[in-house]
Structure 1
């Protein structure tokens, strides 16, 4: 059985009025990706010879987001219905002797495997429906295509599938045009079609806008071709959530929840423990190794990677970062665009950002912020510290309250702290500055000059003790009050 030749048309021209947004509908995001992304990925499963996007509202933004040099883009100038949208792409398939997958760009839950199964089913129908046992070269020339359908308990809002003999589809009736009897039918149109291109080309010219919407319905093609002896069959997708369209922000939220649950399930069955999954957020591009443990309230965004054995505790946010093996991220920590190497401990209430690298076996503790810095292995900064634009070596101890004073009001400057240094609590390091190997700074010092290796730097006012000060102050106060 030969493989069917396929092209795909993805309808992406809708404005999405019910979103109440200037952004094109298909660019609204689920789990960090625009919904059109998920449709494009699903379509890849059928290996089409060409993918054609029909664009319209803010087409430049849609084309830029799709970012596909090999794809074709057709423009629907006016929103005149799905039939008009498909017709606007005619130049890219008018001479194509194969089948077209037509799918809406706002159905992000459709699975690639479902589309592949539908193509295989259509191929089987063409080669076996009505075939005689000895007819080896048989093909049913009357099969026009396939409509992907689902059965819903509440089919309100969807076009109903009207069938005749042997399961052949007679027509599809939109909700607004359906009779009371037709509205009782629970098999509905998904808006996904496989259609033989030459048949579709002829039928498009026969579409009319004689309906309550005054639009050209692609669904009318089914009845037009049936009247010419060419038939459509249905393919039940099984899981009706796959065909859920996204027409407003609430439907976007519901679709996103379904997609998130699918992703969390995927990571769980592949070896990650996810506590209280309803509260956990994981974007599409996130990657988790086995034996990763995620606690409630965690948000993993962008291209974040968490390696084997790491634990991320409650309410952490990690964005576009790599977390090494056996790392512990304690509660309420935020990590952005950074790398945490193996066996490090971060938090609680820490912030790591702007291309920071935290070395192996480091400890970055509570209320510590590290920005655009390189921290060597086995270095500790356990509390109440700011390290910005710094290069810190191995085995360094950063005392509580330490600040790298990196900004002079105009430019940022670098602080270098070499291996083995000990920075006393409440030290101010005024950059640019270098602290040598095994050097010490005294607590409360403001260091403005480079410190050589093995030296101690202390900069603070000399301690003065005024004995009996409290009694003298009390006597003075009592004297003033008696006057």
Structure 2
């Protein structure tokens, strides 16, 4: 991190009409989280003193999402979308008293890297513009650089043939000292075809004031902006490809990399094994040496070393699996802690439960945790044995080394070492099955 204090302004006010969506553009998901979350995550590398997100279209929804992603972020409202310069102007009152480097990012540009942000933050120039060498410069604004740094930004429509030949173009990302921004933003005009106030005027105003303006460059792939559903799909493919590469480089085994899907914050330890068609939602940590078998979906959970999950298992938010736990096929775990060595083989739902060490959960077990209004907790002690097809009606406790009979409905606490059987007595009627079938076939024939 640079010694210079940093603050972030993330512009997230646009509607994104080309997305053909009622959802604000920055809330469309990439890697399991809203687009704006990527800018916020990258910005954490700077350990910023202040973070301001400028919201406009769908401001309430944006504010709600940002509160989950970055609780310390402040929200500035841009009630009229009058350009990027106007958006930054709305954010500045929330940076009152801050003295340091302000970095302006875009909520729909998810791939700006930490190294690039650190370069912007630590550069000694008064204003720093982020540029890139474009394979096809197209209609980008050109960056004209001379011996004294960035001389000017020339919009495509104003560029002559020589300027159009320049491949160094403007990304829109900018860094400047807070005091200088406060001084220059009121002087940004709207004498242009769109009648908007553009942040790109800041470098020219800074040079006119005798300030130093420079360019930091990054790879073109970092500047990819999302404006359409097709671009969002392409960005998802790029994100997943990079996430798979990083996992392999970190010593994770991916049996079929192309079928594994990561979230932005997925953490997997070395020597973990991930089978094909595994999907990681947000908030997943897999410790070293754990194995996730094919066709599993995990979100908001923690899997300890030596545990195995799947195939066809689902771990929902709040699932905590201890070491050497086995969760088998068609098992769903939600907001539950499974201590070391627990075995949940198949066809089971555990919600709002705590299961003690080495306990075995039989097939078809369900913790009946919801009464239609409240969620209730199930406690199962260590070394217990839960018979197949047991219904545990919470709130309920099954003690250590206790057992339940298969097919039981358990509504009362079971003491340590006890056996609980809660089912109707079987009644057998000799010959009745045959007589019933004969009667039904005769009825069908008529």
TM-score normalised according to structure 1 size: 0.75
Alignment partners' CA distance in 2, 1:215 and 1:465: 88
SS of the aligned residue for 2:401 comes to: coil
Alignment partners' CA distance in 1, 2:414 and 2:99: 72
Q: Which residue of 1 aligns with 2:23?
A: 23
Q: Which residue of 2 aligns with 1:339?
A: 320
Instruction: Confirm or deny: 8 A CA contact 1:421 1:435 kept in the other structure.
Output: no
Alignment partners' CA distance in 2, 1:405 and 1:198: 63
Alignment partners' CA distance in 2, 1:50 and 1:434: 53
Alignment partners' CA distance in 2, 1:313 and 1:182: 56
- The counterpart of 2:249, out of the listed 266, 269, 277, is 269
Alignment partners' CA distance in 2, 1:60 and 1:464: 65
- The counterpart of 2:341, out of the listed 342, 358, 361, is 361
Q: Which residue of 1 aligns with 2:199?
A: 218
Q: Which residue of 2 aligns with 1:460?
A: 426
CA 259–152 in structure 1, closer or farther in 2 if over 3 Å, else same: same
CA offset at residue 78 of structure 1?
1.4
**How many pairs are equivalent?**
428
CA 94–157 in structure 1, closer or farther in 2 if over 3 Å, else same: farther
Q: Which residue of 1 aligns with 2:87?
A: 85
CA offset at residue 247 of structure 1?
2.3
SS of the aligned residue for 1:383 comes to: coil
Q: Which residue of 1 aligns with 2:375?
A: none
Alignment partners' CA distance in 1, 2:250 and 2:383: 37
Q: 1:56-205 residue pairs with structure 2 within 5 A? A: 56-67=56-67, 73-91=75-93, 99-120=101-122, 122-123=123-124, 144-163=126-145, 165-166=146-147, 168-175=149-156, 178=159, 182-196=163-177, 200=181, 203-205=184-186
Q: Which residue of 2 aligns with 1:36?
A: 36
TM-score normalised according to structure 2 size: 0.80
Q: 1:231-380 residue pairs with structure 2 within 5 A? A: 232-237=213-218, 239-336=219-316, 337-353=318-334, 355-380=335-360
CA offset at residue 89 of structure 1?
3.8
Instruction: Confirm or deny: 8 A CA contact 1:177 1:211 kept in the other structure.
Output: no
Instruction: Confirm or deny: 8 A CA contact 2:130 2:174 kept in the other structure.
Output: yes
Alignment partners' CA distance in 1, 2:204 and 2:248: 46
Asked if residue 9 in structure 1 is aligned to residue 15 in structure 2, the reply is no
SS of the aligned residue for 1:348 comes to: strand
CA 177–274 in structure 1, closer or farther in 2 if over 3 Å, else same: farther
Alignment partners' CA distance in 2, 1:96 and 1:365: 56
CA 416–70 in structure 1, closer or farther in 2 if over 3 Å, else same: closer
Long gaps (5+) in structure 2: 370-377
CA 57–346 in structure 1, closer or farther in 2 if over 3 Å, else same: same
